[in-house]
Structure 1
Amino acid sequence: MHLNPYGEDAVRLGLSLVTDPPGTDDAMVARCLAYDLVIELPVTNYDRLATAQFLAEWLTVIDATDHDERARRLNELLRHASAYPRLTNHADDGWHIHYRDPGQPLTSVLRTLISVGTALHLAGRGMHRLGRCAAEGCGKPYADFSRTGKQTYCSPVCGNRDAVRRHRARAAARK
């Protein structure tokens, strides 16, 4: 069975590209391959620049604090990104569903993959499952894949650092 590539891995790829943008075409290819993305066309500087522009739009979805606004912003991305769902075996690795036309440049593939993956993430796990790190001075975006749905930090490191900061502030206040 071939699992649908739109979902958690797509959102994780989007976060990876936002928080650590690849500096070269080769780095972009390597990052996408690390997330098992099949690249059909040569990657160019345009792909990196257009993907960065898309990711800036995608961050507005993460930054939306109201669920209706988040849905509106994501629907706008989906409107420009996705085609009708289709079965494909384009890489001879098993039949699966794509929400994009065949033969698209990498930036179009990423736009669709990340937009649809985000929609599936929010619809399946909850509209509140995106945010910015609550640690002072961080602000990195995150997607909450936790069982409880109560994530507020981008990583355990930031959560621990913030807990230590709060503990020290309380200890200083008691003195």
Structure 2
Amino acid sequence: MHFAPDTEESLAFAVALGNTVAGASRSGADELATTAELDALLTRYRYSGRIDHDGDELSRVRSTRARLRQVWLLPRDEAVLAVNSMLEDAAALPRLVRHDDFDWHLHATSPDAPLDERMRVEVALALVDVLRSDEMHRLRACGAPDCEGLLLDLSRNGSKHYCSVRCGNRMNMVAFRERAGG
């Protein structure tokens, strides 16, 4: 399954942000506990516009993380309500923009809007594409029973089960040991 490049980038960001929570992160700890950790995330997923680099912004981004994790796992019709709410809360007005080394893509907030609002709106716009394409089944939780990770399945046949190679390898080892009898 392929979406527009900016949609895929926003969905990948939502997974990365969502998987910073304890129980889903690589370390097992909350990986969005400091402004430095937020800055590191923003190094991988660039956001243009206002970034305050303070504790208040971090707190709002953490709240956005919880909201996006919740929306990720909703059934389609409930996700529509949540997406519409995120867009309405921001008074989003979609427009095409091109900046830095990005080709034409959608923005729907002012560059001066708070970072957490811009994150929610960009992911909401990406979810609009997912919802319109009836592809919510590509957004799901990791299949490893001891993992709370989110995954985005862009594979052709929609068969991805695990949020990371680490979880896949661990579950393959569990299955191997069960088959081997111990």
Paired residues for 1:113-152 under 5 Å:
113-124=122-133, 126-152=135-161
Check 1:40–1:5 CA distance in 2 against 1; reply closer, same or farther (3 A cut): farther
Query: Does 2:31 align with 1:37?
Result: no
Q: Post-superposition shift, 1:92?
A: 9.4
Residue 61 of structure 1 aligns with which residue?
Answer: 71
* Pairs aligned (count): 169
Taking the aligned partners of 1:61 and 1:7, their CA distance within structure 2 comes to: 16
CA distance in 1, matches of 2:101, 2:175: 53
Counterparts of residues 20-99 of structure 1 (less than 5 Å): 20=20, 21-64=31-74, 66-81=75-90, 83-88=92-97, 96-99=105-108
Q: Call closer, same or farther: CA 1:59–1:33 in 2, change over 3 Å.
A: same
4+ long deviations beyond 6 Å: none
Distance in 2, Cα, partners of 1:115 & 1:134: 24
The 3-state SS of whatever aligns with 1:7 is: helix
TM-score by length of 2: 0.76
Q: Distance in 1 between matches of 2:105 and 2:135?
A: 25
Structure with max Cα Rg:
1
Cα separation, 1, equivalents of 2:138 and 2:125: 15
Q: 1:153 aligns with which of 154, 159, 162?
A: 162
Tell me, which stretches of 5 or more residues in structure 2 are unaligned?
21-30
Tell me what 1:13 maps to. Answer: 13
State the TM-score, normalized to the length of structure 1. 0.79
- 1:93–1:141 Cα change, 3 Å: closer
* CA pair 83-150 structure 1, distance change in 2 beyond 3 A: same
The alpha carbon displacement at 1:91 in A equals 5.8
Which residue identity is paired with 1:57? R
| 3-state DSSP of counterpart to 2:121 | helix
Contact 2:151 2:162 in 1 (8 A): yes
Q: Amino acid of the residue matched to residue 100 of structure 1? A: T
Letter in 2 for 1:16: A
CA deviation vs aligned residue, 1:130-168 (integer Å, no higher than 9, x gap): 111111211211111222212221112212221221232
**Identical counterparts, % of pairs:** 28
CA root-mean-square deviation: 2.7
**Any conservation in 1 of the 2:48–2:111 contact (CA below 8 Å)?**
no
